[in-house]
């Protein structure tokens, strides 16, 4: 809200000075200027409160950005709360015989791993239990009865082969109205052996379409005009393959084995999980629901090339099984999965430094090293795990650089000089200035509003103290690994000795990790008492302490942070519910009351001038009358 230099407090239209000739409005304005000074001061206080709110919120936004980047598990690459950023490894995997890089597995070292070399031989990969339909499940693409070739001359139908569709038109003279003629038309349209027609049995006259030479799906559709498909005794849309867009009812009509429904549904249990689907649900929807079920832990799929279904356990290992119970309907029987021979799952088996290791998955962790197995090895592979000193150093330096920016910004706010002679401008003052002058004035007026602010001082103090206070169970300090706080005049900025820090990382990475990321057994939100807060503080690393300082000031969960209580933040409930907003609301009420009083004062002044005008009008009337009387006597 701008500082408003109000000149009129009432919206009453007044016609003044008619008798006296006085500029009443100008006189009243000058008289109200003095009366208005307290109101202008209230508006200035209000503007200062708004500017302070903006200043606090800029610090809150700064800290939120800092927290989201370096204290957020959603950003693992920069999350300094995670111990992995202080103890990360490079790994190489090579064939032990040829020395060439191997893709048989990948290796990743955790914080509990140790640098070194290891030999691994992958003997067997873990697999999951699996069932596959023994044969194609869709029935042959055959007509319903003997074709009537006598009625197809000059007529057409549409054949779609693996997405490519052609209109097949019989000659008008009937020269190709036969099985041989139709095969010639299909060969001309798609090439030899792609799609062929024969009788289902010799002499039956019933047609059957089949694919070959790498072709898979064939679908028949009626032509819009002059249709021949009906005479060939096929329904439009008939195909030799299923589609995930088909309803279960349509799937049932296309299967070689009848699918039964109970009250219009198929019901079954899969690994003990109940499923029920309507005959009107699509095959794609059924597949998606089964595959996304977190308790059944299976994946069902349809292979268009082979026309088979596959059911695979989501869990690998020798103990995995696929349990199907369809006591009512026969969904899986119709898909050829109950009769299918189940391929049992198996465990992965590796030799790790001459020790046999067996696991149920292809992700194997040994001595803090996680191996992702890709294939069985012909020869053992050599794994070399080396501490990535440069990466760890870069992680720490990046954090320290950003920390220094945060500290510098807050210190600038704390130490900026405040010039009390630059108060918010009134509207009247702005009218006498250029836009550039107003901009410069307000920049100066906003400077120093948070000088020596106690909230900001406590933030800086908390961060600086976190760096120097000892950590229970960890010997040494940041100074011992090459990170110093500099002189007092640097106000808490951290300085890194690159050589010393890299030496510390290489020689004792666990100590570096503990100094920064040691975790307390007491959770931040469980530390309700001062004693618990102190116990947490003493037992946690520097980054955890920084996190606590940030949460104390900007948290939105489990109570509001101190900065949010003071000035709020956009998008949160505190945006309009904070201490500074309370001050603004109180000022608004004071302004409203004072405006009302000034309106009354202004009206009183105008009433006095109105009375004066009336007296002057009367005197003017009497004078005119007397002048008239004297003139009559003469």
pLDDT digits (tens, 9 = 90+) for 482-518: 999 876 667 889 999 999 999 999 999 999 999 999 9
pLDDT band per the 50, 70, 90 thresholds, residue 17:
low
Number of domains the chain is built from: 4
Is residue 552 in a domain? no
Euclidean distance between CA atoms 8 and 29, whole angstroms: 8
CA distances to 56, 125, 267 from 493, rounded to whole Å, are: 21, 53, 68
Is residue 411 in a domain? no
Is residue 460 in a domain? no
* For residues 118-125, average pLDDT: 97
pLDDT over threshold 60, residue 350: yes
Which residues form the domain of 623? Answer: 581-633
Residue linked to tokens 């302070």 = 52
Which residue has better confidence, 180 or 598? 180
pLDDT over threshold 80, residue 161: yes
Same domain, 306 and 353: no
Structure confidence at residue 37 (pLDDT):
84
Is residue 252 in a domain? yes
pLDDT over threshold 60, residue 238: yes
Structure confidence at residue 56 (pLDDT):
97
pLDDT band per the 50, 70, 90 thresholds, residue 321:
confident
Neighbours of 545 (CB within 10 A): 22
Same domain, 195 and 270: no
Structure confidence at residue 333 (pLDDT):
95
Contacts 24+ apart (CB under 8 A), 430-438: 430/2
Structure confidence at residue 36 (pLDDT):
82
pLDDT over threshold 70, residue 8: no
pLDDT over threshold 50, residue 139: yes
Length of the chain as a residue count: 634
pLDDT over threshold 50, residue 186: yes
* For residues 20-25, average pLDDT: 66
Residues whose CB falls within 8 Å of the CB of residue 497, separated by 6 or more in sequence, listed in order:
482, 483, 484
Q: What is the dihedral of CA 195, 200, 206, 211, to 10 degrees?
A: -10
Average pLDDT, the chain: 92
pLDDT over threshold 80, residue 623: no
Same domain, 354 and 330: no
Extended strands (E) in 279-321 = 298-303, 308-316
Write out the two tokens for 254: 């296309």
pLDDT band per the 50, 70, 90 thresholds, residue 27:
confident
**What is the secondary structure of 203-262 as a DSSP string?**
T---EEEEE-TT---EEEEE-SSSB-TTTTT--TT-BSS--TTSBHHHHHHHBSS----B
pLDDT band per the 50, 70, 90 thresholds, residue 18:
low
Same domain, 193 and 217: yes
pLDDT band per the 50, 70, 90 thresholds, residue 6:
very low
Structure confidence at residue 16 (pLDDT):
56
Is residue 9 in a domain? no
Residue linked to tokens 């919206």 = 11
Residue linked to tokens 């800086």 = 460
pLDDT band per the 50, 70, 90 thresholds, residue 7:
very low
* For residues 82-88, average pLDDT: 94
* Percentage, residues of the chain above pLDDT 90: 83
pLDDT over threshold 50, residue 205: yes
pLDDT over threshold 50, residue 5: no
Q: Which of 38, 8, 83 has the alpha carbon at shortest distance from 543?
A: 83
Question: Exposed (0-12), middle (13-18) or buried (19+): which is 422, by Cβ within 10 Å?
Answer: middle
Extended strands (E) in 304-411 = 308-316, 324-325, 348-352, 355-359, 363-366, 369-373, 381-387
pLDDT band per the 50, 70, 90 thresholds, residue 22:
low
Is residue 559 in a domain? no
* For residues 613-620, average pLDDT: 76
- The CA-based angle 386-391-392, given to 5 degrees, is 90
pLDDT over threshold 60, residue 300: yes
pLDDT band per the 50, 70, 90 thresholds, residue 38:
confident
For the entire predicted model, the pTM comes to: 0.72
Structure confidence at residue 597 (pLDDT):
87
Is residue 426 in a domain? no
Structure confidence at residue 586 (pLDDT):
96
Is residue 184 in a domain? yes
């Amino acid at each position: 809200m701008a500082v408003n230099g109000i000149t009129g407090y009432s919206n009453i239209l007044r016609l003044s000075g008619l008798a006296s000739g006085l500029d009443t409005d100008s006189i009243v304005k000058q008289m109200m200027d003095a009366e208005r000074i307290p109101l202008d001061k209230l508006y200035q206080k209000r503007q200062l409160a708004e500017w302070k709110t903006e200043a606090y919120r800029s610090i809150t936004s700064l800290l939120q950005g800092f927290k989201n980047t370096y204290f957020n598990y959603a950003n693992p690459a920069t999350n300094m709360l995670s111990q992995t950023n202080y103890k990360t490894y490079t790994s190489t995997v090579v064939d032990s015989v040829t020395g060439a890089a191997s893709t048989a597995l990948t290796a990743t070292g955790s914080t509990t791993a140790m640098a070194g070399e290891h030999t691994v031989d992958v003997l067997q990969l873990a697999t999951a239990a699996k069932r596959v339909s023994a044969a194609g499940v869709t029935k042959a693409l055959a007509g319903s009865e003997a074709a009537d070739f006598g009625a197809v001359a000059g007529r057409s139908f549409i054949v779609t082969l693996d997405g490519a569709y052609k209109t097949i038109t019989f000659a008008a003279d009937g020269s190709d109205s036969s099985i041989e003629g139709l095969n010639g038309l299909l060969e001309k349209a798609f090439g030899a052996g792609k799609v062929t027609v024969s009788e289902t049995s010799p002499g039956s006259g019933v047609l059957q379409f089949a694919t070959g030479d790498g072709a898979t799906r064939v679908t028949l559709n009626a032509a819009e005009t002059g249709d021949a498909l009906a005479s060939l005794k096929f329904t439009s849309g008939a195909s030799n393959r299923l589609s995930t867009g088909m309803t279960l009812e349509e799937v049932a009509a296309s299967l070689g084995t009848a699918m039964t429904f109970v009250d219009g549904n198929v019901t079954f249990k899969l690994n003990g999980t109940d499923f029920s689907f309507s005959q009107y649900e699509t095959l794609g929807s059924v597949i998606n629901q089964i595959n996304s079920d977190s308790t059944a832990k299976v994946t069902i799929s349809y292979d268009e090339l082979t026309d088979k279904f596959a059911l695979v356990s989501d869990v690998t290992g020798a103990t995995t099984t696929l349990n199907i119970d369809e006591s009512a309907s026969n969904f899986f029987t119709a898909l050829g999965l109950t009769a299918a021979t189940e391929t049992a799952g198996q465990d992965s088996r590796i030799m790790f430094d001459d020790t046999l290791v067996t696991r149920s998955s292809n992700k194997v962790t040994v001595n803090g090293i996680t191996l992702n197995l890709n294939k069985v090895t012909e020869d053992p592979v050599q794994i070399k795990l080396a501490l990535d000193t440069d990466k760890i150093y870069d992680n720490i330096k990046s954090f320290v650089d950003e920390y220094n920016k945060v500290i510098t910004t807050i210190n600038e706010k704390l130490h900026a000089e405040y010039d009390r002679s630059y108060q918010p401008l009134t509207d009247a003052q702005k009218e006498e200035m250029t836009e550039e002058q107003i901009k410069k004035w307000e920049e100066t007026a906003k400077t120093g509003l948070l000088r020596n602010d106690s909230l900001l001082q406590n933030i800086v103090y908390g961060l600086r103290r976190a760096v120097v206070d000892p950590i229970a169970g960890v010997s040494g300090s940041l100074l011992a690994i090459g990170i110093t706080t500099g002189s007092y005049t640097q106000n808490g900025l951290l300085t890194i000795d690159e050589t010393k820090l890299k030496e510390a990382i290489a020689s004792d990475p666990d100590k570096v990790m503990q100094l920064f990321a040691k975790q307390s057994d007491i959770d931040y939100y469980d530390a309700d008492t001062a004693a618990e807060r102190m116990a947490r503080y003493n037992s946690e690393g520097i980054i955890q302490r920084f996190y606590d300082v940030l949460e104390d000031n900007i948290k939105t969960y489990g109570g509001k942070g101190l900065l949010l209580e003071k000035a709020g933040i956009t998008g949160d409930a505190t945006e309009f519910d904070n201490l500074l907003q309370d001050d603004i609301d109180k000022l608004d009420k004071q302004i409203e009351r004072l405006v009302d009083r000034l309106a009354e004062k202004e009206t009183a002044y105008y009433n006095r001038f109105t009375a004066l005008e009336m007296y002057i009008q009367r005197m003017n009337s009497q004078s005119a009358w007397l002048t008239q009387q004297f003139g009559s006597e003469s």
